[in-house]
Structure 1
Amino acid sequence: MSADLSPIDKAKFAAAKRATDFVEDGMRVGLGTGSTAAWLVKCLGELVREEGLKITGVPTSSRTAALARDVGIPVISLDEAKWLDLTIDGADEYDGNLNLIKGGGGALLQEKIVATASDQMVVIADVGKQVDTLGAFPLPVEVIPFGWQTTKVLVEETLIGLDVLGRTASIRMNGDHPYVTDEGNYILDLHLRRIGNPRQLSLVLNQIPGVVENGLFIDICDAVVIGYGDGRVELRNINDGTIEESQIDFLEGENLFSDLSD
């Protein structure tokens, strides 16, 4: 089964598998959204079913909640949990300071709320998500539907005075209609190419009327688990500055490989 996976899928699986080492019995765990996070949910589900791991999941989207239930992970809301021990999620980009761009899957608002309500946030990603400077991936900005075109103009005008290379925004579409988030909002994707000062940009964007939240995660991530297509895994911890390397073996007939390939 594993031979049918692409190198990218193997890298995502390796990162997700290694990240399960952070999870302990009794934890309340934030479950991210996206293809890499889906591998994590499957890995945790296998531990719940086959090894008796006892955890409670707080999903960051309706689709993550559905997957978690499918694989046997008990799910509660953040309001019920109140505070989390750990959140594990993917990223669209990360830099050397573990600043992130997230929101490619459309769940940035819930992802940021859950991540900041956690004692620790761990990002899982393939090595292709690593960048020297954020911005090649379009930056998602969640906006309310009312007056979104005005909000778009205000965002583009604001970008003129900031340290970015591109200054255009586009509404994310779902077929012929704007994409709608779980919170009923729209997403503007900012095509910036390079973000010179992510902290400043994040603060300024959130001051614009109509903007709910942006996809820059600054000083939130504690560690990143980087997967490679050959099963190698690198763990970088921003708090103590350590880098650990390990190897994940791909087993033929692995249950996870039979029905998930994002």
Structure 2
Amino acid sequence: MSSEQAAAAVVESAKKLAAYAAVDQHFPHDAKVVGIGSGSTVVYVVERIVQKKLAGEISPGVTYVPTGFQSKELIIEGGLNLGAVDRYPVIDIAFDGADEVDAELNAIKGGGACLFQEKLVAASAKKFIVVADYRKNSTTLGTQWLQGVPVEVVPLAHAKVKQDLIALGAKTAVLRLGGKAKAGPVITDNSNVIIDAHFGPIEDPLTLASAIKLLVGVVDVGLFIRMADASYFGNADGSITAKIRDGDKILVH
């Protein structure tokens, strides 16, 4: 095994540790509707849910609400009941990944381009749990995730919004392209485009999120402020770091 493969295996193990711990500790015994987010760590969330369902620890009657195409496929492939957020606007708990999480449990999300639906499901959930590996654990947003804050934008407005983001202080504001897989921009599940705006370290994410959201053409911004109730990080040494919201305090275990 090469050093790159070994490093990748450590990261995958860390993701699995975080996902399993989050499901084991937070899945409500009486849950009826559960949100399933997007990203590579959420694969292990669904894996653990399926295991616990087969073991009789989770009711087969639970409905699962996806945040996009990937999570919809995970739900279907796992033999779980598929729902939709427009039919289930009240969700008992939602599990999702993140690109970066700060000391106050604020997060940058949207690296997988499922931004708006992720935020809608998180906002609909009574409890929102983030799962990630150690690379996403941060004290200040914008210091670990350097690709920029994802901003979902109506396509017609992308040029104007890019200018507005620079005026707000973004060092760069780049329309996300599909790369080798697609000529042109990435298109979200809601037929919008994504602009990645890099602001550097974000000392006041609430103010920044509010300013971006007010821009004409912006559907939503990938700054999730005071939404998470807990975040679980799998570490390289096999341990888990948990940040838990307790009123106005964040407890770290």
1:40 alignment counterpart: 45
Q: Are 1:153 and 2:156 an aligned pair?
A: no
Cα displacement (A) at 1:131: 1.5
Cα contact 1:237–1:243 (8 A) shared by 2: yes
Q: Are 1:30 and 2:40 an aligned pair?
A: no
Note the 1:35-114 alignment, pairs <5 A: 35-51=40-56, 53-54=58-59, 55-114=62-121
Deviations 1:128-186 (A, max 9, x none): 11122111321100000113112211221232xxxxxx521000011321000000000
Cα displacement (A) at 1:4: 10
Q: Are 1:10 and 2:17 an aligned pair?
A: no
Q: Give the Cα–Cα distance (whole angstroms) in 1 for the partners of residues 78 and 126 of structure 2.
A: 25
Q: Give the Cα–Cα distance (whole angstroms) in 1 for the partners of residues 237 and 140 of structure 2.
A: 26
Q: Are 1:179 and 2:186 an aligned pair?
A: yes
Q: Give the Cα–Cα distance (whole angstroms) in 1 for the partners of residues 208 and 13 of structure 2.
A: 34
* 3-state SS of paired residue (1:146): helix
* 3-state SS of paired residue (1:173): coil
CA distance 1:48–1:199, shift in 2 (3 Å): same
Structure number with higher relative contact order (C-alpha < 8 Å, ≥ 6 residues apart) = 1
Deviations 1:7-30 (A, max 9, x none): 100000000001112113442111
Q: Give the Cα–Cα distance (whole angstroms) in 2 for the partners of residues 51 and 130 of structure 1.
A: 33
Q: Give the Cα–Cα distance (whole angstroms) in 1 for the partners of residues 233 and 81 of structure 2.
A: 27
Q: How many residues align?
A: 236
CA RMSD across the alignment: 1.8
Q: Give the Cα–Cα distance (whole angstroms) in 1 for the partners of residues 205 and 194 of structure 2.
A: 19
The answer to which of 225-234 and 214-223 deviates more is 225-234
Matched AA of 1:236: K
Q: Are 1:125 and 2:119 an aligned pair?
A: no
Q: Give the Cα–Cα distance (whole angstroms) in 1 for the partners of residues 121 and 20 of structure 2.
A: 21
1:20 alignment counterpart: 23
2:153 alignment counterpart: 143
Cα contact 1:11–1:229 (8 A) shared by 2: yes
Deviations 1:20-79 (A, max 9, x none): 121134421110100111211122122223436222211101111011110111110112
Cα contact 2:229–2:245 (8 A) shared by 1: yes
Cα contact 2:152–2:218 (8 A) shared by 1: yes
Cα contact 1:225–1:233 (8 A) shared by 2: yes
Q: Are 1:213 and 2:217 an aligned pair?
A: no
Matched AA of 1:174: G
2:3 alignment counterpart: none
1:190 alignment counterpart: 197
1:258 alignment counterpart: none
Give TM-score scaled by structure 2 length: 0.88
Cα contact 1:10–1:230 (8 A) shared by 2: no
Q: Give the Cα–Cα distance (whole angstroms) in 1 for the partners of residues 30 and 79 of structure 2.
A: 15
* 3-state SS of paired residue (1:38): helix
